[in-house]
Structure 1
C-alpha cells in the first residue's frame, strides 16, 4: 500500500469525474482506472450505490451545471483510507459552493468504498479564519 499513490489516485478521480466538458464515456473510463466497479460501496446520502450510482451523479452534474469545479485543499492518508477536503463550486448561481470531505477506502490499489460530509460555504462566519 502506497499512501502517496492513493492520494494521487483520489485527486485524479475527482478531476476525472468533475471536469466539465469531457464526454461521459471518457469520464467513465478514467474513473474505472481508480475504482473497483464490482466492489464499490457508496455511503453518501445523495448518491445511489455502486459505480453506476456515482456515474449517475457525474451525468447529473453535466446536465445541471454549465460550469463546476472541485479544488482539493488537503489530503490525508492512513492505512486503507484517504480523506480529501475539497471546495466544490457550481458556477455563477452558487459562487460560494460547498466544503466537502470525501473519504475513500482502498483495496488492492482501487477505491472500494466512499463516504462524504457536506457543508455549504457560508456567507458569514463567526471568525475570519475562512472555511478552508
Structure 2
C-alpha cells in the first residue's frame, strides 16, 4: 500500500468549495487547509504509484484547482524490497574491514567501492 500527501493550491475564495469536495471524495482524504494561503492538504492511497498518480491527476483536473503536487510519499512494498536489497549487500566496502590496511594510505575519490590505495 502506498500513501502520499498532496498540497492543493487554489484561490482563497474557492477553498471552502474544494474542502467540501475532498470531504466527500472517495479518492482522497481531507486533512486540513489554510484559507488565507489557499492551500489544502489531502492524502491519497493506492496499490502502486500508478494508482496514486491517477488520483493526483483527478485532483489536478478539479474546478478551481490551480496546482496539486505530491509532497511526501510512503511506498510500503517498494520500501520492503529496498530494505531486503540493502540487507543482502555488504554496505561496508572490504577495504574498510581490512585491518592490515592503514586508513591513511587510502585515497578517497568519491567511491570507496572503487578505491585506490596509496602504496
Fold similarity call, TM over 0.5: no
Higher relative contact order (CA 8 A, sep 6+): 2
Structure with max Cα Rg: 2
- With the length of structure 1 as denominator, give the TM-score of the two structures: 0.28
- With the length of structure 2 as denominator, give the TM-score of the two structures: 0.30
Higher share of residues assigned helix: 2
